[in-house]
Amino acid sequence: MSTRTAATRLGIAVAAVATLAATASPALAADSGLGSGHPVYKGRVTAKSGLNLRDAPTRGSRIVRTEPYNKIVPIFCKTGGDNIGGNNLWYLLTDGTWAWGSAKYIANIGAAPRWC
Beta-carbon contacts of 5 under 8 Å, excluding residues fewer than 6 positions away, are none
Answer yes or no: is pLDDT of 16 > 50: no
* Domain around 90: 3-109
List strands edge to edge, sheet with 87-93: 63-67, 51-54, 99-102, 87-93, 72-84, 41-45, 106-109
The identity of residue 65, as a single letter, is R
Q: Higher confidence at residue 97 or residue 82?
A: 82
Contact status, residue 95 vs residue 110, Cβ threshold 8 Å:
no
- Report if residue 116 sits inside a domain: no
- Report if residue 79 sits inside a domain: yes
pLDDT band of residue 5 (cuts 50, 70, 90) is low
pLDDT band of residue 95 (cuts 50, 70, 90) is confident
Q: What is the CATH number of the domain that holds 38?
A: 2.30.30.40
Determine the Cα–Cα distance for residues 11 and 52; give it in Å rounded to an integer: 19
- Report if residue 10 sits inside a domain: yes
Phi, psi for 101 (deg, rounded to 5): -125, 145
Q: Higher confidence at residue 4 or residue 44?
A: 44
Contact status, residue 72 vs residue 107, Cβ threshold 8 Å:
no
- How many distinct structural domains can be found in the chain? 1
pLDDT band of residue 21 (cuts 50, 70, 90) is very low
Determine the Cα–Cα distance for residues 115 and 33; give it in Å rounded to an integer: 14
Determine the Cα–Cα distance for residues 25 and 59; give it in Å rounded to an integer: 33
The least confident of 25-29, 70-74, 89-93 is 25-29
